[in-house]
């Protein structure tokens, strides 16, 4: 079944064009090995002379068996080539000669091809249509192609290339990862990038949910008003005296001393919730008290934190109940919390919204 799938791929879309020889010759070898034809790429035979001896019959039987396999191998390779290349390579009488010529024509690494691979790797940028996982997989493939061509990149070169390929919207994160001493190779940078991409997706989803939740009450009010209008306008049971009473209540409310008014956001006196400078409250569907029970000393994860000096050690007895980590390398687990639940204050009085809580 697997062999049939490979044949279908090679004959349908993955045909040899000259530029895809590296992956094409691997797939051909997988296919021929599955069909027990791989030996025909490294050996060839000539038809034995006529004779009636037992040895001659054995030689003829071996030749006929090889000829049948060689014919199948040639058919498989020619069927998986582009139409322009079939006429050029069908002149070879056996699979080995055809395979050797293909390797000579396309398998060698010329200076021009090597420069092309290096340039493609250096200027490569993430396609908006690709996910971060797909982007990293493509970069891993280019690193592998460069290695096969004789250009082995150092770990630092691979890390910097990945950082350079990220979108412009990642400018802050690119600066942080550039100076992160824990990112030493391609696996490290891939893990950090995928975690950040996952965090951004979660933030977008939470923002969309919060935005849609704020719009619903207004929509219901408009529907109620429209329903009242369709039923005949204002109710006849509501006398005009009530309207005057409501106006009287508004006047009395306007005369109240604002210093005695309580803010519904911070529960402090002296201002309204719309003028409150504290972070806005968000109604949460879950009880976060369990988080504090499980994590009495919590670490809240923000979108970005800039540090003047990078310190890899942890200071346990600082007296603080909330800590900020420079990366997620030492985290045991990570739990996202709803937007607006907590904030982490900085030394200059500003704050960042916490995105999750972890245990170390």
Q: If residue 302 lies in a helix (H) or strand (E), which one and from where to where? A: strand 298-302
What's the CA dihedral at 208, 210, 213, 219 to 10 degrees?
-70
What is the structure's pLDDT at 95? Answer: 93
- DSSP string over 266-329: T--BSS-GGG--SPPP---SS-THHHHHH-SSEEEEES----SS---S----SS-SEE--SSST
Strand partners, 314: none
- What pLDDT does residue 317 have? 55
Radius of gyration of the chain (CA): 35
H or E stretch including 357?
Answer: strand 351-359
| 3-class SS of residue 252 | helix
**Is residue 313 within 8 Å of 264, Cβ to Cβ?**
no
Going by their DSSP bridges, the two strands 343-345 and 351-359 should be labelled as: antiparallel
Q: Residue 343: enclosing H or E segment and its boundaries? A: strand 343-345
The secondary structure element, H or E, covering residue 353 is strand 351-359
Whether the CB-CB separation of 114 and 152 falls below 8 Å is answered with: no
Distances (CA, A) of 267 to 62, 195, 354: 94, 37, 22
pLDDT for the residue 125 = 92
Walking along the chain (360 residues) 10 residues at a time, the average pLDDT comes out as: 56 74 85 90 89 88 93 91 89 92 78 79 90 92 84 90 92 89 91 90 77 54 49 50 50 64 82 79 47 40 48 58 62 72 70 73
Query: Count of CB atoms within 10 A of residue 162's CB?
Result: 25
Nearest to 351 by CA among 295, 302, 280: 302
Distance of CA 358 to the CA centre of its chain: 22
The four Cα atoms 151, 155, 157, 160 give a dihedral, to 10 degrees, of 150
Tokens in use for 156? 């630092």
Beta bridge partners, 301, equal: 356
3-state secondary structure of 335: strand
Beta strands 298-302 and 322-323, pairing class: parallel
Q: What is the pLDDT of residue 297?
A: 42
């Amino acid at each position: 079944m697997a062999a049939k799938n490979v044949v279908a791929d090679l004959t349908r879309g993955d045909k040899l064009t000259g530029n895809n020889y590296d992956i094409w010759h691997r797939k051909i070898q997988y296919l021929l090995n599955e069909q027990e034809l791989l030996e025909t790429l490294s050996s060839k035979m000539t038809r034995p002379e006529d004779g009636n001896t037992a040895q001659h019959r054995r030689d003829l039987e071996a030749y006929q068996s090889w000829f049948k396999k060689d014919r199948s191998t040639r058919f498989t390779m020619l069927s998986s080539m582009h139409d322009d290349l079939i006429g050029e390579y069908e002149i070879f009488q056996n699979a080995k000669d055809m395979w050797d010529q293909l390797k000579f024509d396309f398998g060698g690494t010329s200076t021009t091809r090597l420069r092309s691979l290096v340039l493609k790797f250096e200027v490569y940028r993430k396609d908006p249509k690709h996910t971060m996982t797909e982007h990293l997989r493509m970069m891993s493939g280019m690193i592998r192609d460069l290695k096969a061509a004789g250009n082995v990149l150092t770990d630092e070169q691979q890390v910097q290339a990945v950082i350079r390929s990220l979108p412009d919207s990642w400018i802050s994160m690119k600066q942080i990862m550039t100076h992160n001493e824990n990112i030493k190779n391609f696996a490290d940078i891939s893990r950090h990038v995928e975690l950040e991409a996952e965090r951004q997706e979660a933030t977008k989803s939470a923002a969309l949910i919060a935005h849609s939740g704020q719009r619903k009450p207004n929509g219901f009010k408009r529907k109620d008003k429209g329903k009242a209008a369709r039923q005949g306008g204002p109710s006849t049971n509501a006398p005009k005296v009530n309207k005057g009473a409501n106006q009287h209540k508004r006047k009395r409310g306007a005369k109240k001393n604002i210093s005695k008014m309580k803010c519904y956001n911070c529960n402090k006196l002296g201002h309204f919730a719309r003028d409150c400078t504290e972070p806005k409250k968000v109604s949460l569907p879950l009880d976060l008290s369990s988080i504090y029970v499980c994590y009495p000393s919590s670490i809240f994860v923000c979108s970005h934190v800039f540090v003047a000096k990078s310190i890899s050690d942890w200071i346990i007895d600082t007296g603080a109940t909330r800590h900020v980590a420079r990366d997620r390398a030492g985290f045991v687990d990570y739990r996202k919390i709803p937007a607006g639940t907590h904030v982490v204050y900085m030394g200059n009085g500003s704050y960042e919204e916490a995105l999750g809580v972890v245990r170390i």
